[in-house]
Amino acid sequence: MKDIPAEVLHYILEVLRGVYFGEVVLVAQNGVLIQVERTEKMRVHPWQGVPKPQVWSPVMEENIRKLIERELKSLYYGRITIIVKQGEITHFDRLEKQRFMDGDGI
């Protein structure tokens, strides 16, 4: 994958900061990040005693930035889903797709 522009990485981090429960999906085609999807789950009634997420430290933000860059760098077709629960990134899911252009019927 091509290098991700700094303003795009900044946008992705801002989206991640804004999600309390949900996910952010990064979609790549032909080695280029083409789409950022945000899905947020909203509770019908407010929870009592749910702590607000901590503000990211500069070190934590840099680690998240490097992790996103590393995961996207090796992705040609597919998506990276970043799962957020209670304002904290819990894990990344990776879906890779392969294209076979020389087969019959494909």
Express each pLDDT in 45-64 by its tens digit.
666 666 667 788 899 999 99
> What mean pLDDT do residues 79-96 have?
94
DSSP three-state, residue 44: coil
Question: Which pLDDT value is given to residue 48?
Answer: 64
Rounded to whole angstroms, how far apart are CA atoms 45 and 26? 30
Q: Name the residue ranges covered by the structural domains of the chain.
A: 6-45+54-93
Residues 6+ apart with CB under 8 A from 49: none
Q: What is the pTM of this model?
A: 0.83
How high does pLDDT run on average in the chain?
87
106: confidence class by pLDDT, cuts 50, 70, 90: low
User: Which pLDDT score, from 0 to 100, does residue 99 have?
Assistant: 77
